[in-house]
Chain A
Amino acid sequence: MSAPAVETRDLVVRYGDFTAVDHISFSVAPGEVFGFLGANGAGKTTTIRVLCGLLRPSAGFVRVAGRGYEDGERAIKAKVGYMSQRFTLYNDLTVAENLDFIAGLRKLDPGYYARRRRELLELISFQKGLDARVQDLSGGTKQQVSLAAALLHDPEIVFLDEPTAGVTPAGRERFWRLIRLVAGQGKTVFVTTHYMDEAEQCGRIGLMRDGRLVALDSPAGLKKSVFPEPVFEFDPLRSLSSSELSAYAAHEAFAFFESYGPRFHAAAAGPEAWARWAPELEKVFRIRPIAPSLEDVFVRVVEGRP
């Protein structure tokens, strides 16, 4: 197997007394679509900033595209593309001006840049003119152009920090088609998202909580490892009071009980408890066995009781 595209061992980032990233270790293979999930403030963006060469870690080993901080400030930056969640393109500039600017900062050869730009605009099937101001583009198109900007220098790895925030569902779908295309070209895509349907499309997912990497597997693998117990959907036959609900949430029959739209998803605590309580629960709920969703995984691992 070839060398990993991204590798960290015991990566730590501290801001004064606060530990934003706490000893995380993982590796990502070339060509992988790697999803990074976690609540806001869990340390996702901080980790990405380290991996993009923007933030020197307090401790630990980092290797991105075969390079580390010991190779100089800019060694990593040259090898990766980054799309930030806060800012993508300058609104008052045209598409061409934005791309020219990035090309200038990366000192791309003019001939190469012209070719690459055409190629990427074709990839995102950009319809508007290059002279269109960014502020006149739709949110989805803007994100796609921004992706093109991050790919201009043909990086081995591209980091996308919540690339689809504020984009319509159709726009999100188009964007993910692009992500698959880019990964198909052999690039590693490292993406954070809050959308579970997007996370479902990743090859593997890392879950972060309070600066720690608490789970790392494929979506199917995570569901299996996080929910070893059978999982059921509970559809209430009558409306439940909030005190009843909190009683169920703490019920000894359940290892997990969370609302899921108007229904509930629950995991059995154990066969004996389940057998004992099932008849009584069936008076209140219509119960059917289901496979756990990624959202269940997220709720249990990231938001659930530690």
Chain B
Amino acid sequence: MTFSWRRAAAVARKEWFHIRRDPFTLALALVLPLVMILVYGYAIDFNIKDVRLAVSDSDRSQASRRLIDTFTSSDYFRVHPVDSADDAVRDVAAERARAALIIPPRFEKDLLAGREGRAQVLIDGADNATVGPVSQYVGSIQALASRRIAGSDLTPPYQLRTRFLFNPELNSRWYVIPGLTVVIMAILSIFLTSLTVAREWENGSMELLLSTPVQPIEIIAGKAAPYAALAMLAMAFVYIIARTVFGVPFAGHLWVFGLGCLLFLVAYLAQGLLISVVARQQTIAMQFSMLTGMLPSNLLSGFVFPIASMPKFFWYFTMLLPARWFMVIARRSFLEGSDLAQLAVPFAALALCGAVMTALAVRRFKRTLE
């Protein structure tokens, strides 16, 4: 029994007709990446820019104004003056401001007398997502401000430049969007295949397919091909948006990233297939794909929660997940420009995941037919 390209192509062609006539599939493949990249790309950032800062300046001196100026000119804070320290605290409590800067009356005098000038920064600790970045900004601005206040007005240009190098909000986007490729790819591959194969079982057409000499491997290859093409197209789409709209740099080699995409795709298509062979019903297949494909690719791939800080068990567990390895390939391709040799471990792991998953799917598929 040899593999027949002609039969696989017939399956692929038929599948392509299904996709073309099913608005849901096409929409999922093309609109979903767009929506996700816009939501993640913009929403995640906007919180951290223009943080409202309530400022109570009881000193009203040159030093205090300089300190406030440093905040104002940073782009990260929108300063809004209040009359007293109590008002500033009230603003934070009422969520009219995310943070408050309180400068006591003797701020400049203390500085001039050679004592430590004390100003207080309050950050709303209830909003977990902003605490980290905001306190980071404060720290850097503090360093900058102390140089400005203590030193001369003729601030050397290189000190100003340090402000632009410190740019965590851009960095976070650079970090998020390459990771997003993993999530989008995961959804497209596992979801679509598991649904399409489950549909054949559900409506009985699998029986008809199998009454012809077609082999399981030909059905699998034929079914996977159009979805792989669709997912790769979506990936190209995401890549272009990442580069043009968000200006994410791509330091690596496109072919290395493309190869990673393909390997990840194979692993997840096979997993989707395995699900559909086991579930045989579209609704169940959908839930299984959510649970075993989309959830891990979001939560256990390092996309949201860093793997390094996971408990030992999960740290090892994630090694079984293709998403974890593809995440490494995606991020390092975009940001570090790693080549194939540097990414040998994640590539080998991904290939292994794909091979095991494919073998399982084909075996299980054959077994069900007997």
Contacts and interface: CB of A to CB of B under 8 A. Distances in A.
B203 A86 contact: yes
B214 A97 contact: no
A87 B202 CA distance: 10
B4 interface: yes
A92 B209 contact: no
A77 B17 contact: no
A82 interface: yes
Interface string B1-23: 10010110111011001100110
Contacts of A49: 207
Given A90-B18, A105-B212, 16 more contacts: A54-B211, A74-B1, A74-B215, A77-B211, A77-B212, A77-B213, A84-B204, A86-B204, A87-B205, A90-B205, A92-B22, A101-B13, A102-B212, A104-B9, A105-B214, A107-B213
Interface in B323-370: 369-370
Contacts of A197: none
A72 B215 CA distance: 12
A73 interface: yes
B291 interface: no
A53 interface: yes
Nearest to A52: B211
Contacts of A104: 6-7, 9-11, 13
A276 B275 CA distance: 69
B176 to A, nearest CB: 38
Sorting the interface of chain B by its residue count into under 10, 10 to 19, 20 to 34 or 35 or more gives 20 to 34
A216 to B, nearest CB: 25
Contact of A54 (B6, B9, B18, B207): B207
Interface residues of A, number: 29
A103 B7 CA distance: 9
A84 B22 contact: no
B211 A92 contact: no
Contacts of A93: 14, 17-18, 21
A305 to B, nearest CB: 34
Contact of A87 (B1, B6, B208, B214): B208
B17 A105 contact: no
B320 interface: no
Interface string A47-86: 0010011111000000000000000111001101010101
Nearest to A102: B212
A56 B205 CA distance: 19
7 contacts: A55-B370, A77-B211, A90-B14, A101-B14, A104-B7, A104-B10, A107-B4
A188 B209 CA distance: 22
B212 A106 contact: yes
A74 B2 CA distance: 12
Given A86-B203, A101-B10, A106 B213 contact: yes
B210 interface: yes
B229 to A, nearest CB: 18
Contacts of A53: 211
A107 B18 CA distance: 21
Interface in A175-212: none
Interface string B96-139: 00000000000000000000000000000000000000000000
Contacts of B17: 92-93, 97
